[in-house]
Structure 1
Amino acid sequence: MITLSSIRHLRIPFSLFLMPVFLFALALTPNLNEGRLLLVFLALHLFLYPSSNGYNSFFDRDEESIGGLKHPPKVTPDLYWLSMVFLLIALILGAKISWSFASMLLVYALVSMAYSHPKIRIKKYAWASWFIAGFFQGYFTFALAYAGISDLGWDVIFRPHVIIPGLLTSMMLWGNYPLTQVYQHQEDSKRGDHTLSIKLGIKGTFLFSTLFFALTGALFFWYFLDRNQTPIVWVYLSAMAPILLFFLIWFRFVLHNPEKHASYSWTMGMNTISALALNAFFIYYFLENTQVLQVFGN
């Protein structure tokens, strides 16, 4: 029997926060196909990500707030099997595109499992978990989505036109990743997970993210200029403005009282504003870069 608590642990709405990577890949794909687009979207956001969330929740068994759940319900045994069913559905959807794409989904899933499984538990290694999470949720997922939408194989990972935007998505996640851990120091420490945010400290986490956000912004600025898309630069900066403002306000509060304001509510606020602004920007970039509206207009 599937329990309501297990469904909640899948945290399906949380997929919204990773959608900018998919949208960026969609904006750059050379072989747009509506059927493949839908299959990739469903495989990733409705099944693979929730499967990963549920699997990690099963082994973490958090008692305090986690991403997308302020008060996580008690984990029940069916969560493990539910996460496996969701993974199987993701792989079936992937196989409808190609076996290469399905295998890429499987690799992502296996790395995600290793993140929390007690025999490996990448999460307990500060720098390794930071790098691996940012790489696979960013670069690898970008390449995976690009390959699925365009019906390409594994070789796409090494193509120059995929490497640069893929690394840009990882840069975004490497900057944000420690912030998602900033309110979990106590619970992570109890389990022996030495996260990067614990290593850096609360203020150090914000300084670290500030550096990466600045570097990421500069690299996106260069990327759009290099593609002779100067007008896109201003749209990108406009999308980043509310994110930057929220972050600076949050940082100011944290400097005055780190323990109080390095909280779940502030973190989810930051994630929500970032997701909404970036999703809106990449949808706009997709429409402009692919000229879809002009095609339908004609």
Structure 2
Amino acid sequence: APAMHSGMWGADATQTNVATLSSRGVRFVGPVDGPLAHGDTGPGRMSEPSEIADAVFAALRPRDLDGARILVTAGPTHEPIDPVRYIGNRSSGKMGVAIAREASARGAEVTLVLGPATIAPPPAVEVIRVQTADEMRSAVIDRFTAADAVVMAAAVADFRPKAPNDRKMKKDAGVPDLMLEPTPDILAELGEGRRPGQFLVGFAAETDDVEEGGRAKLRSKHLDALVANRVGREGTGFGTETNEATILVADGREVPMRAWSKTELASAVCDLIARFLTGLGVAGRLGRS
């Protein structure tokens, strides 16, 4: 991760040495354009630490998803009540972002459809920002056919106001009578409309009967795998770095319920995808058109 003034970076000797090291397999991260010493601006600024860390992470991962196109959703959706209020949930987007980062590090071309979350997405993925369930559905459906694998890690709101108010509701007007309607079931639509050879992963968050509810969702949504999360316990689930989860696979395999870091769980999900796509001859095909 070099950092120096533009003149030094552009010098013939520097570029010759960079080319020599690159030919020997050394990977460089940056430098980038930006503010430099003495008020100057230009190439030579060190890449952000998070970008350097992602590059190191990618260099250490297996490249078993090379050539695969993977679509990931993450974060919550916000369903407007009025211009300042909404129905949403506690999802931080951390799980979906971890999966996008892992898949990208393993060579996949990743598109991340990200709801209104504050977490920063990985730098090497395409990011589509959305707010509502309808926006997420449109973004996913538009990209679904081209994807080799889809991971629906977003916590899409189940209900929305039937008639959102276009002006801020006043407190002194009394308690509003909100009529709700279901949001589109994106995962069910994908399960019904998938093409042969696609791998579809869903997520479920449950407080009770986690495995039983997960198996039912795995079957009803026509999924290849489902991550069933136990929520409602301190230290796991939404907004934390840990998930208490089991992985259920359509062929009957199960990974027993345990605590995972989100990074570990992302790796396990990508392992499933890689095994499936490698069997189809998709992963490993570089430079696909």
Q: TM-score, normalised by structure 2?
A: 0.30
User: Higher relative contact order at CA 8 Å, sep ≥6: structure 1 or structure 2?
Assistant: 1
From the two aligned structures, give the one with the greater strand fraction: 2
Q: TM-score, normalised by structure 1?
A: 0.29
Greater gyration radius? 2
From the two aligned structures, give the one with the greater helix fraction: 1
